[in-house]
Structures are given as structure tokens and as C-alpha cells.
Amino acid sequence: MSRVRILPDDLVSLISAGEVIENPSSIVKELIENSLDAEAKNIEIEILEGGIKSIKVSDDGIGIHPDDCMICIQRHSTSKITSRSDIDSIHTYGFRGEALASVAAVADISIRSRQTTSSLGIELIANQGETPVRKEISRPEGTTIEMANLFSRIPARRKHLDSPSREAQRIHEIIMKHAIIRNEVGFRFIRDGVVVIDVPLNQSKRDRVLELWGLEIVKSLIEINHTEDSTHIRGFLVQPPLSRGNRQREYLSIRKRPIEERRLSLAVEEAYSTLLMSGRYPIFALDIDVDVELVDANVHPTKREVRIENIDTLIRILHSVVRDALEPSIKSVSQTLDEFVESSISKQRETIMPAEVEGRQSSIIVEEGLLQPKSLMRDEVEGLGGRFRVIGQVSRLYLLIEMEEGLVIIDQHAAHERILYEKLRDKVNSGSVMIQELLEPIVIRLDSVSIEQILEVAEVLKEVGYSVAEFGGNEILISSLPEILQQRANEIDMISLVDRIIELGVVAKDKFMDEIIRVTACHAAIRAGEVLDHRQIQDLIVKLSKTSNQNYCCHGRPSMVRVTRSELDKRFGRDGIEALKRYRARHRIE
Ligand code: ADP
Ligand code: MG
């Protein structure tokens, strides 16, 4: 083995650049933060091929001094801190002086800048492996930093980059995160020549969310502005049912610095929990302002994590703020639950009624049924692999069915979903899907990345019955739906369908098609809370019996539970009687 040595500077730069720059979006993040630190009022980000080919960030901030531009691409060069004590109270995004040096280590970089106080600007061109060249230029106040040929000299890193469209999506997300918190700054994002974000400076928070996340979200917005001691929490929450299948729209920031902190996001998720189905995540953007001394931003090279001194207090405050804000929604959910319980009790009474009309008490029926099972099978019908009789509906969700072997409990939504899934799948396979044209097409506002994703799969959607087209800048128009949805599909359903498509991302066509059929079946199916009469229940069970996998809904959850007679007997302690019967039968005792 060779001897220990101090690495040469260029190698050190390359190694530390690897920590700061994972992909093009990390460069965009650093450049935006530099512009914000330079008090820019407007920031424009332009990328080609997901930023892999080039990134250009321009601002109208304070600019760089002509003598500083040569230094600022060196490691640990910063104008933001000067002493040890400054580290304890960081008021800027940057302070490590590593970003520009890291970019210069892995890509060609050029800086053009003019300070407010000087009449001439400066240009610095630093291509990888070449001596930087500096010259005077004339240009407006502010700074433009351009990067090209990312990782061109490190093929291993370049190979690990994702596709340009995926990298562009990451950049889009980073820009949105900053743009949502810094609504006083104007942002423009141009992707391969197309303007995809264009939000003006000094926009209201609400308008900013409207432009970036669309009208549906704004309709469900709850604004938060809470102060407790020296902690301020500001931003907004989105009311369920709007939600996502991942954490991508959980925006948390500390002193306007976007961060990732599991414990804080869990506190918010926890406060939402009764309002969201499992696997769904809330949408929110919350900024937490605490004393600067309590935050240590110097724990992660990209500063995406910070250390917060009183994190437990913060978790508590955050949880209760979100909980209080959502309280009206939580109340209304538990009210509906109460109604369910109320109605299921009266519904149960109704289901016993027909027997009473025939002059019997319900308790007697049970006894009789136990002794002579066959005598109960009056309204019995073929299905579920035998003959069944509908008892009724519980909680407007579970169907109670009696069969000779015992009790069958069926989830009405899961059962109907299974029926519709198989029906629609067969129709899609034979190319005979029925569609319904909408008199009033549904218009959904989305961000441009999502629009692109939806349009990419428009052909597949068409085969299932959805006609989706681009509709002006940031909107899509849905003009027809699979007929199976009937009157059930509303705007919220369509948004959650679109959401599902976005989450699915790029998958093989077959898998995508199947998923869309499942989602459609789910939306079209009878829901929990719908009252069904005996005939409807009977129909449903007969149809369910004809499906190929009646025991499971199309998402793999069980659609029925069977409780056998002997299980019931066991639970009611009737084991002894059964044993006695068996003993008598064996020994031929009458
Ligand atoms: P840091 O942001 O940690 O200070 P950087 O490497 O990102 O380190 O930037 C180095 C220095 O270059 C900054 O401290 C700042 O003085 C200057 N600088 C970078 N970008 C800009 C900009 N857009 N406008 C003005 N000054 C900038
Ligand atoms: Mg910086």
C-alpha cells in the first residue's frame, strides 16, 4: 500500500462537489438560494434537457464585485459569514462557500454580473480543466450564472443521472418549493424553450398557490398564521379529501429554508390521520419561524436537514395548530360516523321486520334456524357457490348474507368494485368500451409537468373511455368518461384519477391500463354509506358470484368474510351440544 498523503486541491474539490451536487436540481437549488441571498426580486431559471445539458439562472439582485468573481468559484469562499460567531446565527441560505466551487468542479461555468454601484459588469468563464478567463462587459444589474456539460468529465456520475424529463421534474419541484414560500419574489422557469412557471413578484400567498397548484387546491385551502412565544407558523393546509399518494406536496421550511425533517412532517400527518385513508398523504406548505440561534443549518452539505434545539416543543405546537385548523373537518367526519351507526341500528330493525310480519319473534327464528337450518331458506337464491339469503345491511357498508354453512359478510364497495373491474376489463380487451360524452366537460388546472404526464398517456386513457386534451396553458379538459362511471364521477374524482396517473409515473402500458381500470372501477362502485334494498343486494351478490375472484376486491383487499356455523356455535358455547349430538349419532342413541 502506498503512503498517506494530502490530496491535491482539484481532487479535494471533486470529492466535496459530490456531496453538494447530486443531480441538476441540486445546482438549481444552490443557484436560486444565491439569488435569494442577493435580494433578487425576480429569478429566471432556464434549463435544457433536464439541466443535464445546461442550466441558466438570472437574477436582479445586488450582483458580485468585479474582484470577487474569480474568488467565488474557489472552495470555502463566501461573503456571508466572517467569524466563528456568525455560524450561530445564519440569516442567509448560503454560508459554506461551496456551491459555486462545486459546480465549477463538475461542469463548465460562466458568471456574468453587475453590481448596483458600478457602471460596468464582469464576465468570468471557467471551463473544466482550463484557466478561468475574466473580462469586462456591459449588462443590466444582477447576476447570471450558466452551467453546461454537467459531469462530462465524470462519466460514472453522468451515467447515474435520470432521464431528462425526470431530472426536469425534480427541478420543477425545487422551484415550486421556493416559489411557494417566497411569494414576494417573481419566478420564471423555462424548460426546453417553454415557459412552465411564470409568477410575478409581490403575489399574494393565495394567488401564488393558485398559479402553482391550481384552483382545486385553492378551494380547499386553510390559511395558518399562528404565534406561540417566539414560534410563528405560517402557510396553509389543504383540506381532505384532496390528498396525495406520496409526500411530495408536504412542504416544510424553517425560516423559509425548505427542509426535510421526518419528525415534523409526521406531526402534521398525525394531525390529519383520521381524515385520510391509509396510504394517502396530506398537502401542505408550512413555514416555521423560530429564533435563529435555535437552528443549526450546518449539519448537512446541502443544508436540506437542520438541527433544531427545541424540536419537541415544535412538534407539539405544530401538531396542535394543524389539529385545531382541521377541527371542523374532523367534527363533520365523526358526525357522519354517528349517523352511520344510528342508521345501521334502525336498518337492522328493518331487516328483522319481514320475519316479524310472518308472526314470529326474531329470537325464535334464531333458535329455529339453529335446529333446522333448511327452514330459513325462504328467499334463497343461487350464488356464492351455493344458495344464499339476504339478511340486510349493516352500517350502510356490510351486507349480511346467510348460507347453509353460516354467515357471510360482504363489503358492498369491494364487491361492486370487483364486478365493475372485470366488466370494464373485458370491454377494454374486446375494444367495446361504452363512453358517455359530458355536456359540460371537466376542466382541471395542473402544473405543466403533470399536464405533460397526462397527455403522454392520453391514448391509453382513450381506450378505457376517457377523452383528455390540453386546454390552454395550465389546464386539461376531460370531455368523455367510461359509461360505467355514470353520474358518479365529479371533479374531485377526476382530480384523484389524475393524481393517481401522476403517481404511477412511467410504467409499462399493460400495467398502466390495468391500474386505470382498477381506479375507474373503484370510483364507479357503490360506496360506503349508500343504502341498498334487498333486491339490490341480491343482484349484487349474484353478479359477484359470477366474477373470477369474488373473495377479493380488485386492490387485493378481502371483499367477504365467512363465519361458519361451527365457529358461531363455538363462540356461543354450543360446542357441548354439538359433541353430544355427535356422540348420540355414533352410538345410535335416539
Ligand atoms: P455561499 O452561498 O455559501 O456563500 P456560493 O459558492 O454559493 O457560497 O457563492 C459564493 C459567493 O458568491 C457568495 O457568498 C456570494 O457572495 C457570491 N454570489 C454567488 N451567487 C451570487 C448571486 N446570484 N448574486 C450575488 N452574489 C452571488
Ligand atoms: Mg450559495
Cell 479535494, located at residue? 12
> Hey, what's the cell of 450?
403533470
- Burial of residue 587 (CB within 10 Å: 0-12, 13-18, 19+) is exposed
- What is the SS3 assignment for 198? strand
Residues whose beta carbon lies within 6 Å of some atom of ligand 1: 30, 34-35, 38, 59, 61-64, 72, 77-80, 94-101, 143
SS3 content of the chain, % helix, strand, coil (to 5): 45, 25, 30
pLDDT in tens, 220-270: 899 999 999 889 999 999 998 788 878 889 999 999 999 999 999 999 999
Atom nearest to 35 CA in ligand 1:
23
- The residue type of 247 is R
Distance CA 143, CA 138 (A): 12
Q: What is residue 7's DSSP assignment?
A: P
Distance CA 48, CA 43 (A): 17
- Residue to mutate (ligand 1; options 100, 102, 146; most atoms within 8 A of CB): 100
Distance CA 254, CA 306 (A): 8
Distance CA 416, CA 546 (A): 12
> Hey, what's the cell of 496?
384523484
- Residue to mutate (ligand 1; options 16, 29, 72, 76; most atoms within 8 A of CB): 72
The alpha carbon of 148 and the centre of ligand 1 are apart by a number of angstroms equal to 18
Instruction: Specify whether the CB–CB gap between 543 and 412 falls below 8 A.
Output: no
What confidence score (pLDDT) does residue 391 get?
92
Instruction: Specify whether the CB–CB gap between 389 and 379 falls below 8 A.
Output: yes
- What is the SS3 assignment for 531? coil
Q: Whose CA is nearest to atom 13 of ligand 1?
A: 78
Instruction: Specify whether the CB–CB gap between 550 and 384 falls below 8 A.
Output: yes
Instruction: Specify whether the CB–CB gap between 218 and 242 falls below 8 A.
Output: no
Cell 423555462, located at residue? 190
Atom nearest to 63 CA in ligand 1:
25
Instruction: Specify whether the CB–CB gap between 401 and 391 falls below 8 A.
Output: yes
Q: Whose CA is nearest to atom 26 of ligand 1?
A: 64
Q: What is residue 281's DSSP assignment?
A: B
Atom nearest to 93 CA in ligand 1:
2
The alpha carbon of 80 and the centre of ligand 2 are apart by a number of angstroms equal to 9
> Hey, what's the cell of 331?
367534527
The alpha carbon of 28 and the centre of ligand 2 are apart by a number of angstroms equal to 11
- Residue to mutate (ligand 1; options 16, 37, 106; most atoms within 8 A of CB): 37
pLDDT in tens, 341-399: 444 444 433 333 333 333 333 222 232 333 334 444 457 888 888 899 999 999 889 99
Distance CA 488, CA 519 (A): 13
| Spans of the chain below 70 pLDDT | 1, 278, 330-378, 473, 506, 554, 575-580, 583, 589-590
Per DSSP, which regions of 156-199 are E strands?
Answer: 186-191, 194-199
What confidence score (pLDDT) does residue 330 get?
67
Distance CA 296, CA 350 (A): 64
The alpha carbon of 173 and the centre of ligand 1 are apart by a number of angstroms equal to 22
- What is the SS3 assignment for 48? strand
Q: Kindly list the protein residues that place their beta carbon closer than 5 angstroms to ligand 2, a single-atom ion.
A: 34, 94, 99
The alpha carbon of 394 and the centre of ligand 2 are apart by a number of angstroms equal to 61
The alpha carbon of 79 and the centre of ligand 2 are apart by a number of angstroms equal to 10
> Hey, what's the cell of 495?
382530480
The alpha carbon of 163 and the centre of ligand 2 are apart by a number of angstroms equal to 26
Distance CA 451, CA 472 (A): 11
- What is the SS3 assignment for 175? helix
User: In 3D, which of 2, 32, 5, 350 has the Cα closest to residue 185?
Assistant: 32
User: In 3D, which of 99, 144, 152 has the Cα closest to residue 122?
Assistant: 144
The alpha carbon of 164 and the centre of ligand 1 are apart by a number of angstroms equal to 27
Instruction: Specify whether the CB–CB gap between 411 and 387 falls below 8 A.
Output: no
Atom nearest to 95 CA in ligand 1:
3
Which ligand gives the minimal distance to the CA of 114? 1
- What is the SS3 assignment for 238? strand
Distance CA 428, CA 329 (A): 39
Q: What is residue 273's DSSP assignment?
A: G
Q: Whose CA is nearest to atom 2 of ligand 1?
A: 94
> Hey, what's the cell of 1?
500500500
Q: Whose CA is nearest to atom 16 of ligand 1?
A: 79
Instruction: Specify whether the CB–CB gap between 163 and 52 falls below 8 A.
Output: no
Within 430-533, where are the H helices? 448-456, 458-464, 491-504, 509-524
What confidence score (pLDDT) does residue 1 get?
66
CA distances 551 to 16, 428, 440, Å, are 56, 23, 38
